[in-house]
Structure 1
Amino acid sequence: MKDPNAPTEGILGHVPLVVVLVLAVLVGWAAWWVVRYVRTDAMTRQSIRQAVRVRWGWKRLAPMLKLSATDKTPTALASLANTSGKPIKPRVLIPTLKVKHDAYGVIARAQCLPGVGLQQFQKAGPHLADAWRCTRVAVTQDKPGQVLIRGVRLDPLKFPTEHHPTGEPPEETARWDLGLDEYAQPVSVNLTQVPGVTVAGLPGFGKTSLINRLLSDWAPSPAVQFACADGKVSAAYEGDYADWVQRMFAFVGDDLEEANKLFRHLVELRRARSASVRQMLGVKSMWDVGPSEHWPLVVLIVDEAHTYFRDHKGSDQQTKKLAALAAENARLVEDLVKKGRSVGLLVILTTQKSTGDAIPTFIRDVCPVGLSFAQKTAEASVAALGEEIREWPDANPINLQDPTYVGVASMNHQSQPGFTRIRTPYVPDAEAARVAERTAHLTADPSVLLEAFLGLRLADVDLTKLDV
């Protein structure tokens, strides 16, 4: 006769095996975490410990910050189980929180509840910063019904970074990757349909390095061509762009007459493109089809722009000539900025102090993207970023004069209100030179490309329909 206890004994006989398997999984998981923890740097280890504290303390912290909801309606299961007839206690709902870490702090995603949404999380932001031991906390909408909470334990703006260009063409031709914001999130700006960019700031605080990154990232694309007027030098080999000249179809130094020839050449290109864009591309705006090898985005860099626009005072013949050239330069660059957008011309102007005497206001005020590194005066900050910067004192570039903030700029970002501060990376000279050398064969004068595409000289292009 079969023993009735046999099945039970069979099940119990497998219990040790199940326990061993569970213990093995737990030990393996623990070992994986220990190895991962040990192999990371000290900053990341701190963030791992911080993320653990955030997870463990969330259910207690959320109700204290009024980030919970009370559900007075009993569930169907609770109603069925309630045989005593006593009122069922309301449930306290806690938003689900998923936490990740990086070197600077934690990134948490929380599910919203009725009455507990973006506004409530933003209101609790300062208290979350205190509880999580963060320098600052930002709360944004991640997607409908979910918020993204970014807490930084360390200020990303105080840590210099480096950018190592891949040498590969960018995925998006007109996207400029700038660096990390004050929450260590990557910041980029879309320069599609943008006619001009202004970059201001004290000498040695990062303007040229910022341009260097753009060159390093965009140079591998044959759909981008560069020209430069560098007001700091007389010859290319003297300046910051010595390595990049081989990737530029034109370069001039501080000679106003040479700069005038370059600006005039580009205006002629702009006029020819305006007259032929429909014939060649079948559209009114180049951006409807995007830049290409035959119709590239033309980037003109005007470094130390005040060199070319400064109003020269004096009655002698030489001074009058310089004054006339400066006025003509301003008129030509104004043409490029105001009329070059739809045919693929982008002007980037850098100067120390972008007041009206450095960059004429009729040029500066039509450049929709502006950045400023450290400034000494409120006047210079307003000139670079507009009157609205007065309402954002924390982002004002007059606060960036400390050497710690070399490479940090303020800007009015396209995708969010107000101003944000950005840590721009340094590109090692050797790596920039390597990219310039490897991409030098891509250099071509856009005027020559246009002539080849049209099959005639630009002088023969019908310009009667331009400037419309």
Structure 2
Amino acid sequence: MNRTNEAFGWVSGAVWLGLLMIALWAVVWVVRYLRATPMERRSIRLAVRIRWGWKRLAPLVGLSVTDKMPTVMASLTSGDKVMKPRVLVPTLKVVPDEFGVIVRASCLPQVGLKEFQKAAPYLADAWRMTRVSVLPDKPGQVLIRGVRVDPLTTSTTHTPTGQPPQKVALWDLGLDEFGMPVSVPLSEVPGVTMAGLPGFGKTSAVNRLICDWAPSPTVQFNVFDGKVSHAYEGDYADLVERLFAFVGDDLEAANKELKRLVELRRARSASQKQIRGVKNFWHAGPTEDWPLIVTIIDEAHTYFRDYKGSDQQTKRLAALAAENARLVEDLTKKGRALGFLTLIITQKTTGDAIPTFIRDVCPVGLSFAQKTADAAVAALGDDIRQWPEANPVTLQDAAYVGVAVMNAQGRPGFVRIRTPFVADEHAARITAETAHLTRDPGQLLERLTGQGLVDLAKALPEAA
């Protein structure tokens, strides 16, 4: 009798423990649901519906396999009965977020990546998604991304943290069309081109880069803005105190500053091995004394324009523009291993706006909305013709302000990205907090070597 009571007590305790665990799980789930945003709550409900309906849906969309071989336990207990074949479906792990769900599914024999990709349109219809994407994940698993609302038409904002970036030269651009974050590594990159119609988000994307990188003393910025004449005007007015140099639309002033940058490039080339012990800047990385130099040339066509005319003034401007192009070519072709990163921004990256000998050595290219197919090809290459759904010509609607197109990293095709808006007050705040970090890289090098840039540059042969 005592043993019976003891066994009953153990069973009763196990039942109560199980009920307690279920109650705790329910409380956690309810708290999580109540703290979620309205959009996240919709995704949570959708995730529950996906889990409950998966065993029925999977065979309907061709994501199941029939196993005619009974398990060992079934064979031992079936006796002489004929066992029915089992229908196996992939197991799922569903995680909801603001835009939809991220699903990790296991593969089965004859149900792999290709089968999931083929079923993606049917899953989108069944789950009431705007679009569904399937990509390889871990070995034996696929990653399914489904979005309820289109991230490309959902405006977003970015609030800079004011903290130094965790990884140097990583440009966080925004969210792709599946709501996944997109980052572009810019280490070992000599140049970036950015194109797009006025008012569609080019400058805001650059502002985010400056605001995110400005808290690091290992990065220094200078800006050429062809839209304005003075630093207190235009899009970079709130950031000017974090720039070691600023040039407006004066071609002569731009020429002078570009010459100084090329002189600095040559001086670094002459002294980098001796001072840092490396030939490539990125082998040691940026430091406060030897920072990454980010040069932003906005409205670049201002500085490269091909002036036509026979009068003295036109000839002078034509000569300045031609030399400006040659100097920027020097920075993009020879500056990568010396810590120079050049961002060239214009409305159209056609040859008359950015000379092809500059554009073609910049491996990273982005394009916001474009008016013509030729402009899209100039910005992204001829392959964009094969991906009409990603062509920036389709982004001219006001709903796509802030949406850019670029080559997909590590896979064929192109990706569309919703870049967030950075408010002027945030740019001003970051500048106020980080202005004390601004240093002129030329002066830093002169202090390190005890020599002037001209003297250092003379140590190199002319070919350098």
The answer to whether residue 166 in structure 2 is matched with residue 159 in structure 1 is no
Amino acid corresponding to residue 153 of structure 1 in structure 2: R
Residue aligning to 2:118: 123
Please give the secondary structure, in 2, of the residue aligned with 1:460.
helix
Matches within 5 A, 1:106-145: 106-145=101-140
Residues in 2 aligned to 1:193 and 1:392: alpha-carbon distance in whole angstroms? 28
Please give the secondary structure, in 2, of the residue aligned with 1:124.
helix
Contact 2:151–2:418 (8 Å) recurs in 1: yes
Residues in 1 aligned to 2:6 and 2:279: alpha-carbon distance in whole angstroms? 81
Amino acid corresponding to residue 236 of structure 2 in structure 1: Y
1:284 is matched with which residue: 273, 279, 289?
279
Residues in 2 aligned to 1:334 and 1:459: alpha-carbon distance in whole angstroms? 20
The answer to whether residue 389 in structure 2 is matched with residue 394 in structure 1 is yes
1:463 is displaced (CA, Å) by 3.1
Residues in 2 aligned to 1:17 and 1:226: alpha-carbon distance in whole angstroms? 67
Question: How much is the aligned-residue C-alpha RMSD, in angstroms?
Answer: 1.7
Residues in 2 aligned to 1:305 and 1:265: alpha-carbon distance in whole angstroms? 18
Residues in 2 aligned to 1:454 and 1:324: alpha-carbon distance in whole angstroms? 34
Residue aligning to 1:90: 85
The answer to whether residue 224 in structure 2 is matched with residue 195 in structure 1 is no
Give identity over the alignment, percent.
66
Amino acid corresponding to residue 37 of structure 1 in structure 2: Y
CA 1:73–1:13 in 2, change beyond 3 Å: closer, same or farther?
Answer: closer
Residue aligning to 1:34: 30
Please give the secondary structure, in 1, of the residue aligned with 2:221.
strand
Please give the secondary structure, in 2, of the residue aligned with 1:268.
helix
Amino acid corresponding to residue 405 of structure 2 in structure 1: S
Amino acid corresponding to residue 394 of structure 2 in structure 1: N
TM-score by length of 1: 0.95
Q: Kindly provide the CA deviation profile for residues 281-300 of structure 1, in whole angstroms up to 9, marking residues without a partner as x.
A: 22221111111111111010
Residues in 1 aligned to 2:14 and 2:141: alpha-carbon distance in whole angstroms? 38
Matches within 5 A, 1:32-431: 32-84=28-80, 86-431=81-426
Please give the secondary structure, in 2, of the residue aligned with 1:98.
strand
1:128 is displaced (CA, Å) by 0.8
The answer to whether residue 3 in structure 2 is matched with residue 7 in structure 1 is yes
Q: Kindly provide the CA deviation profile for residues 182-203 of structure 1, in whole angstroms up to 9, marking residues without a partner as x.
A: 0000000011111110111111
1:23 is displaced (CA, Å) by 3.7
Q: Which moved more, 1:335-344 or 1:10-19?
A: 10-19
TM-score by length of 2: 0.96
1:242 is displaced (CA, Å) by 1.1
Contact 2:304–2:324 (8 Å) recurs in 1: yes
1:12 is displaced (CA, Å) by 4.0
Amino acid corresponding to residue 349 of structure 1 in structure 2: I
Contact 2:43–2:96 (8 Å) recurs in 1: yes
Q: Which moved more, 1:38-47 or 1:370-379?
A: 38-47
Between the two proteins, the alignment pairs up a number of residues equal to 463
Residues in 1 aligned to 2:243 and 2:27: alpha-carbon distance in whole angstroms? 54
Q: Kindly provide the CA deviation profile for residues 338-368 of structure 1, in whole angstroms up to 9, marking residues without a partner as x.
A: 1111111011011111111111111111111
Q: Which moved more, 1:14-23 or 1:443-452?
A: 14-23
Residues in 2 aligned to 1:205 and 1:51: alpha-carbon distance in whole angstroms? 35
1:44 is displaced (CA, Å) by 1.2
Amino acid corresponding to residue 372 of structure 2 in structure 1: T
CA 1:317–1:197 in 2, change beyond 3 Å: closer, same or farther?
Answer: same
1:258 is displaced (CA, Å) by 0.2
In structure 2, runs of 5+ residues without a counterpart are none
1:134 is displaced (CA, Å) by 0.5
Residues in 2 aligned to 1:444 and 1:121: alpha-carbon distance in whole angstroms? 53
Q: Which moved more, 1:220-229 or 1:19-28?
A: 19-28
Q: Kindly provide the CA deviation profile for residues 186-222 of structure 1, in whole angstroms up to 9, marking residues without a partner as x.
A: 0000111111101111111101100000000111111
Contact 1:176–1:189 (8 Å) recurs in 2: yes
CA 1:203–1:88 in 2, change beyond 3 Å: closer, same or farther?
Answer: same
Q: Kindly provide the CA deviation profile for residues 100-126 of structure 1, in whole angstroms up to 9, marking residues without a partner as x.
A: 101111110011112211111111111
